[in-house]
Structure 1
Amino acid sequence: MGRGRVLYCGPIQHLEPHVYGANVLHVGIYRPFRIRLADGEWRTCRCAVVPAGVRHALDMAGGVHGKLFVERTGADAKGFRKRFPYSETTARFFEDAETIECFRWIHEEDPNRSAVEQRLERLLSTREQTPVELDERIRQVIERICREPDRNFSQEELARLVDLSPSRFLHLFRQCTGLPYRRFRLWKRMVSALELLHASDSLTRAALDAGFADATHFSHSFRDTFGVNPAPVFRNIGRFEVSPGMVDKR
Structure 2
Amino acid sequence: MKISQRSGRLYLWPGAALVLSPGIDSSLHSHFALQLSYGLEQPFRARLSSDQGWTETRSAIFAPHSAHQIDSDGGLLAHLFIELPRNLQTDVTDLQATFGHDAVFLALAATLLAGLAVAPDLAAALSLRQAWQACALPQSLSAAAYDNRVTVALAHIANAGGFDCGGASLAKHVHLSQSRFTHLFRQQTGMSLSRYLLWSRMLSAVAAVAEGNNITTAAHQAGFADLAHMSRTFRTMMGVPPSELHKMAIAFKQDVTG
1:169/1:44 CA distance change after superposition, 3 Å: farther
Tell me the number of residue pairs that the alignment of Structure 1 and Structure 2 aligns.
230
1:37 maps to which of 48, 54, 61: 48
Q: Does residue 121 of structure 2 align to residue 119 of structure 1?
A: no
Structure 2 length normalisation: TM-score?
0.75
Could you say which residue in structure 1 is the equivalent of 2:6?
none
Q: Secondary structure at the match of 1:114?
A: helix
Letter in 2 for 1:11: P
Larger relative contact order (CA 8 Å, sep ≥ 6):
2
Letter in 1 for 2:25: H
1:54 maps to which of 34, 43, 66: 66
Structure 1 position 141, deviation (Å): 3.0
1:247/1:99 CA distance change after superposition, 3 Å: same
Letter in 2 for 1:180: S
Deviations 1:125-152 (A, max 9, x none): 59x9995332133234323433251347
1:27 maps to which of 18, 34, 38: 38
Structure 2: stretches of 5+ with no match in the other structure: 1-11
Could you say which residue in structure 1 is the equivalent of 2:227?
215
2:195 maps to which of 168, 173, 183: 183
Q: Does residue 99 of structure 2 align to residue 108 of structure 1?
A: no
RMSD: 3.1
Query: How does 1:8-27 map onto structure 2 within 5 Å?
Result: 8-27=19-38
Decide whether the 8 Å contact of 1:134 with 1:176 is kept in 2: yes
Query: How does 1:1-250 map onto structure 2 within 5 Å?
Result: 1-2=12-13, 4-39=15-50, 41=52, 42-72=54-84, 88-89=90-91, 91-93=93-95, 94-95=97-98, 96-97=100-101, 98-110=104-116, 111=118, 112-125=121-134, 132-146=144-158, 147=160, 149-151=162-164, 153=166, 155=167, 158=170, 162-164=175-177, 166=179, 169-231=181-243, 233-237=244-248, 239-243=249-253, 246=254
Percent sequence identity over aligned pairs: 26
Deviations 1:200-222 (A, max 9, x none): 42322221121111111111111
Measure the CA separation in 2 of the matches of 1:143 and 1:13: 31
1:109/1:229 CA distance change after superposition, 3 Å: closer
Letter in 1 for 2:30: V
Q: Secondary structure at the match of 2:250?
A: coil
Structure 1 position 46, deviation (Å): 1.6
1:44/1:240 CA distance change after superposition, 3 Å: same
Measure the CA separation in 1 of the matches of 2:251 and 2:21: 15
1:234/1:148 CA distance change after superposition, 3 Å: closer
Moved segments of 4+, more than 6 Å = none
Measure the CA separation in 1 of the matches of 2:208 and 2:256: 8
Measure the CA separation in 1 of the matches of 2:172 and 2:90: 29
